[in-house]
Structure 1
Amino acid sequence: MFDKVLVANRGEIAVRVMRACEDLGIDTVAVYSEADRHGGHVRFADEAYNVGPARAAASYLDGEAIVDAARRADADAIHPGYGFLAENADFAERVRDAEGITWVGPDPGPMRSLGEKTKARSIMEAADVPIVPGTTEPVDDPETVREFGDEYGYPVAIKAEGGGGGRGMKVVRSADEAADQLESAKREGEAYFSNDSVYLERYLENPRHIEVQIVADEHGNVRHLGERDCSLQRRHQKVIEEGPSPALSDELREEIGEAARDGVREAGYTNAGTVEFLVEEDPDREPGELLGPETNFYFLEVNTRIQVEHTVTEELTDIDIVKEQLRIAAGAEIGFSQDEVELEGHAIEFRINAENAAEEFQPANEGSLDVYDPPGGIGVRVDDALRQGDELVTDYDSMIAKLIVYGSDREECLARSARALKEYDIEGVVTIVPFHRLMVTDDEAFVGGTHTTKYLDERADKDAIAAAQEEYGTGDASTGGDDEEVTEREFTVEVDGKRFEVALEERGAPEIPTPDAGGGGGGRDRPDVATSDDDGGEEVAVGDGETVEAEMQGTILSVDVEVGDEVAPGDVVCVLEAMKMENDVTADMGGTVTEVPVGEGDSVDMGDVLLVLE
């Protein structure tokens, strides 16, 4: 087994991997950007190394800096977590080529093949795994998109070769959209995955998203650990995941699980991974009815890494998947047979994101955890890295934590989830906890298990979501109706022996001083880290005129106008990447462009001027 593992990631997944290492007696090394110099994963690790500025491309995505940190720390393995470099075959190869360092992940060859979606489709086809009708060669011409739509019908999905989680995917609903959506998909693919190659698939209108966890070793053993249902999504980003699926019969479950095993075996894949499928839902299915073995299901993609929602499978099987990854990377053989894998009970994972579900899940731009008190009790697990008093880091994603709840069956799991979510006390940052509370108690489609991947975007009750946010939400410091300072004071009042919690808001009152909550890191001292308040930015002077400003923090992917151009209201002037999503920035008014103070690749904060119009 390894002596020291560097975790090439941040936040809760870095802490999750470090905990598994500690269980195995392995020392841990963190890497951090300037934005994360006080991050929870830095506090938790035995050592920590700065790998660059806040921008991910210059820190967490800098493979050379990561490997250099591993050498400096004398680490003998690198675990990538998920996201960032986790599915980058070139980085895996770089680690493999570094003397004395082991890559905790799949071989670069199968990783590269399965990461390129057209090759993955060919591999699955060879293994007799059902695939959605689509192309097996990259597409460059809008006319190819139109011809595909004429043959198979609209809508058509354009997908980036290296994409995942909805990034790099665009939906074409008519021939008129082909050119624009093709260009956008290629641009996202290049921005996120350094690969602008795209392919086409028939777009299924009402699917369920089912994924199968697999582990495979270098001795030819392949096991599946059951499925997870990830159908509750917004804009192709998962929000709630659960297992087993409330929609699958045992026969269909076994068919999908064996298809996953066949596919990764054909690819020569090792370590942990997830095979994702789309399952055609019966729109007339009633709650409690199950989809039988005659149901169509299709291969979607393979995630060549551990998943955010791996915790669901761990609760159902009592198998520590991260430990399995480490053991397999060290050359060990899987110690259990397929027949010994049993799914017991039911588990649900809730992503505790700093987002406002009532505002189309808009992410928070700033804030601090003034109060952070996660739930506990039997069947409740919280994976996190932040602690009370920590500032929210919004440079990368919106996740604060993951809440995982286990029950003997789905009914008990839903009831326990409602209790745990009610206990989850977070103040200072807006979160989607109110949305989750709505889903597990009052949303008929989710409670009945009849929701599909389109449910949140097309059918969910927006008024009910807004009402839940109003009733249960705490808001955040960055949203307010006026400039007058508002102080909230909380009191415990007893009337006739009954206890009441009362919150009062005072405008213009001084804040009540409170002791410094500190960062708290599980009893650990913070490792020595380098600090700097200089991000190397320069102030940009902006002239007179109407301005177009950034509505959120992010990175400029492209600037679509130049000085002297005429723009009309609604024209796209630039594309801003924020929270892993591509956002078109449009002009509210028409005019002539007089200044463009930003360029491609620039990082911007909320309120920064992107454009000046006259």
Structure 2
Amino acid sequence: MTGGFDRVLVANRGEIAVRVMRACRELDIDTVAVYSEADRDAGHVAYADEAYRVGPARAADSYLDGDAIIDAAKRSSADAIHPGYGFLAENADFAAQVEETAGITWVGPPSDAMEQLGEKTHARRVMQAAGVPIVPGTTDPVTDPEEVAAFGDEHGYPLAIKAEGGGGGRGMKVVHDPEEIEAKLESAQREGEAYFDNDSVYVERFLEHPRHVEVQILADQDGEVRHLGERDCSLQRRHQKVIEEGPSPALSEELREQIGAAARRGVEATEYTNAGTVEFLVAEDLDRDEPLGPETDFYFLEVNTRIQVEHPVTEAITGIDIVKWQLRVAQGEAIAFEQSEVDIDGHAIEFRINAENAADDFAPATGGTLDTYDPPGGIGVRVDDALTQGDALVTDYDSMIAKLIVSGETRVETLARSKRALAEFDIDGVVTILPFHRLMVTDDRFVAGTHTTRYLDEEVDTERIQDAQNRWGTESSESDDGDESTRREFTVEVDGKRFEVELEAHDAPSLDVPDGQGTQPRPERASSETDQTANAPGGQTVTAEMQGTILEVNVEEGDEVAAGDVLCVLEAMKMENDVVADSSGTVTDVRVSADESVDMGDVLFVIE
């Protein structure tokens, strides 16, 4: 397609959906939102020109329902679909489905390139053939524990079992000794199937103290590839990025050039177009007193065939709007700048403002309302979000509230500006990791730029995080089920298409609807915990600590369990959580089964 787009459907939610829609508006393109039942009042829905409901809260039945997404695109007369990140963004089958739909363009890499580079074992072979260093690992999927054990015998431990379609630590399990192999293999396969509809996994050597460096690339349909510099994403907890920055504070110019050239070389060896990110692990020298030199080992990790959460870092230091270029490349435009014209100017840091309690092992918030939401401003400060003051937290998906991106002429200035901006960011009613970020911008290792991917998980004193939470943190507000206020904002859906009638009054009396017609406020309902506990037999009840989906149940009625035994695995906020017995006893009641959704407080088991 060489003509411009008239209307783009954004197959995502939250801040990334709004980010893409803003780029569309600047290009004079109308936007279409899709939403689940849980996101009926979401910010991206309000921002779009049109919005279509695509299913219930469960992502598998809404944001991951490719048929529903394409149907919404057809009904809205959209001529392109932008997937954002997550959900269907790296699903090659969905990309192919869009490509095969007449009149609709996929804003992303071709599906065959996504298949080649998105599948980790394929990508390793491609990069190896292009002369890009790779971590020792399998080039074919593994299915049997014996295969994993054989790899461990040859290359040693620890090793990592990774889902082929995975990313961001999801579907990745670290094995420290042979006894863990079977359970970790099954868990990685299960997460791969749950999140990426692909249970294939591979094995590679796990580097214990690396840096995580990624290179932003952009490729057009004429085969021209540009890299836009690197980002350092080494500050992670449980393989999930928390703070990203660019350029990396650890690399010398010579090493930076080597890594950028390797990324560009690897992408040029494929038929890849549009935006993407080539990720590397860089061997860190913990005793160094200067940047890592050109002799430093670095290894290809994976290719993310989509826009990244942290793409604003690159936009801040290059002045290049990556989302606009995604749209332009998808329309057939050629990249308008040479590699030599890509200038890295200054420094930028992105802070993920997640609804999590860093002092409680980054546990996600289970609810709350943004009673106060006042983001910072000023020179060098950018906030990407989709929420506003008064919004209730939606806990069905990821925990991100916003992204704070701070830039300056130097890293020192950027850190000082970040300290100021984080102090100005005022959020009440929802617990967030703002206190953790305020701690990190004064942390000696982070300020020195010598942290690794293991720093948060293994070295940071948890008491310091607790002190920061006590000093700067807020708690989640409890919703008031007995609220007598009446909303007078009416949402009308005709054949699934959304129309808004903006009449709204908070804390107002209910509407007087004659003859019992219309909708009255729903009566107060007892919590799930109250309902179920009242009818539970005697014994200890084990309840869900958060809303989520049961992935597997490990016990049956009559089983004897000891304290610490895993009763079931609960998936919440895209993380697997073991639900364990607090004390020993006999399981007398099993209330849940695999694939069942549960709410916080629901009784899962009774143990006598």
Above 0.5 in TM-score?
A: yes
Aligned residue in 2 for 1:437: 438
| Larger deviation, residues 559-568 vs 380-389 | 559-568
**Quick check: 1:607 aligned with 2:607?**
no
Q: Is the 8 A contact 1:37 1:529 kept in 2?
A: no
Aligned residue in 2 for 1:498: none
Aligned residue in 2 for 1:596: 590
Q: Distance in 2 between matches of 1:223 and 1:543?
A: 62
Q: Is the 8 A contact 1:232 1:238 kept in 2?
A: yes
Letter of the structure 2 residue corresponding to residue 476 of structure 1 = S
- Superposition pairs for residues 233-382 of structure 1, below 5 Å? 233-286=236-289, 289-382=290-383
Aligned residue in 2 for 1:39: 42
Structure 1 residues 569 and 327: alpha-carbon distance in aligned structure 2, compared to 1, 3 A threshold: same
Structure 1 residues 423 and 133: alpha-carbon distance in aligned structure 2, compared to 1, 3 A threshold: same
2:575 to 571, 574, 581: 581
Q: Distance in 2 between matches of 1:185 and 1:604?
A: 22
Q: Distance in 1 between matches of 2:477 and 2:288?
A: 44
- Superposition pairs for residues 92-131 of structure 1, below 5 Å? 92-131=95-134
Aligned residue for 1:438, secondary structure, equals: helix
Q: Distance in 1 between matches of 2:367 and 2:232?
A: 32
Aligned residue for 1:528, secondary structure, equals: strand
Q: Distance in 1 between matches of 2:138 and 2:226?
A: 29
Letter of the structure 1 residue corresponding to residue 603 of structure 2 = V
Aligned residue in 1 for 2:150: 147
Q: Deviations over 1:431-470 (max 9, x none)?
A: 11111111112x1000000000000000012111111111
What percentage of residue pairs aligned between the two structures are identical? 71
- Superposition pairs for residues 328-477 of structure 1, below 5 Å? 328-441=329-442, 443-477=443-477
**Quick check: 1:564 aligned with 2:558?**
yes
Shift of 1:161: 0.8
Letter of the structure 1 residue corresponding to residue 424 of structure 2 = E
Structure 1 residues 65 and 533: alpha-carbon distance in aligned structure 2, compared to 1, 3 A threshold: farther
Shift of 1:533: 8.9
Aligned residue for 2:269, secondary structure, equals: helix
Q: Deviations over 1:409-430 (max 9, x none)?
A: 0000000000000000000011
Letter of the structure 1 residue corresponding to residue 130 of structure 2 = A
Q: Is the 8 A contact 2:209 2:454 kept in 1?
A: yes
Aligned residue for 1:145, secondary structure, equals: helix
Q: Distance in 2 between matches of 1:90 and 1:564?
A: 44
Letter of the structure 2 residue corresponding to residue 109 of structure 1 = D
Letter of the structure 2 residue corresponding to residue 18 of structure 1 = M
Q: Deviations over 1:503-535 (max 9, x none)?
A: xxxxxxxx9x9999x9xxxxxxx953999999x
Shift of 1:311: 0.2
Q: Distance in 2 between matches of 1:9 and 1:599?
A: 29
Aligned residue in 2 for 1:5: 8
Q: Distance in 2 between matches of 1:514 and 1:360?
A: 36
Q: Deviations over 1:575-608 (max 9, x none)?
A: 1111111111111123333332222222211111
Q: Deviations over 1:450-500 (max 9, x none)?
A: 000000000012111111111111222259xxxxx9xxxxxxxxxxxxxxx
Q: Distance in 2 between matches of 1:467 and 1:322?
A: 39
Q: Is the 8 A contact 2:532 2:603 kept in 1?
A: no
Structure 1 residues 456 and 515: alpha-carbon distance in aligned structure 2, compared to 1, 3 A threshold: farther
Shift of 1:317: 0.5
For structure 1, which runs of at least 5 residues remain unmatched after alignment?
Answer: 480-484, 486-510, 519-525
Aligned residue in 1 for 2:186: 183
Q: Is the 8 A contact 2:276 2:305 kept in 1?
A: yes
Shift of 1:568: 2.4
2:78 to 71, 75, 80: 75
Q: Is the 8 A contact 1:43 1:527 kept in 2?
A: no
Q: Is the 8 A contact 2:532 2:602 kept in 1?
A: no
Q: Distance in 1 between matches of 2:244 and 2:486?
A: 38
**Quick check: 1:528 aligned with 2:496?**
no
Q: Distance in 1 between matches of 2:459 and 2:405?
A: 26
Q: Distance in 2 between matches of 1:217 and 1:230?
A: 26
Q: Distance in 1 between matches of 2:117 and 2:548?
A: 30
Q: How many residues align?
A: 572
Q: Distance in 1 between matches of 2:300 and 2:245?
A: 19
Letter of the structure 2 residue corresponding to residue 310 of structure 1 = H
**Quick check: 1:203 aligned with 2:176?**
no
**Quick check: 1:213 aligned with 2:216?**
yes
Provide the TM-score with structure 2 as the length reference.
0.91
Q: Distance in 1 between matches of 2:522 and 2:64?
A: 21
- Superposition pairs for residues 163-182 of structure 1, below 5 Å? 163-182=166-185
Q: Distance in 2 between matches of 1:15 and 1:187?
A: 31
Aligned residue in 2 for 1:553: 547
Q: Distance in 2 between matches of 1:608 and 1:7?
A: 34
1:193 to 191, 196, 200: 196
Q: CA RMSD in A?
A: 2.4
2:536 to 543, 547, 550: 543
Aligned residue in 2 for 1:501: none
**Quick check: 1:28 aligned with 2:16?**
no
Q: Is the 8 A contact 1:228 1:245 kept in 2?
A: yes
Q: Is the 8 A contact 1:429 1:476 kept in 2?
A: yes
Structure 1 residues 515 and 231: alpha-carbon distance in aligned structure 2, compared to 1, 3 A threshold: farther
Q: Is the 8 A contact 1:50 1:529 kept in 2?
A: no
Q: Distance in 2 between matches of 1:605 and 1:514?
A: 25
Structure 1 residues 377 and 527: alpha-carbon distance in aligned structure 2, compared to 1, 3 A threshold: farther
Aligned residue in 2 for 1:489: none
Provide the TM-score with structure 1 as the length reference.
0.90
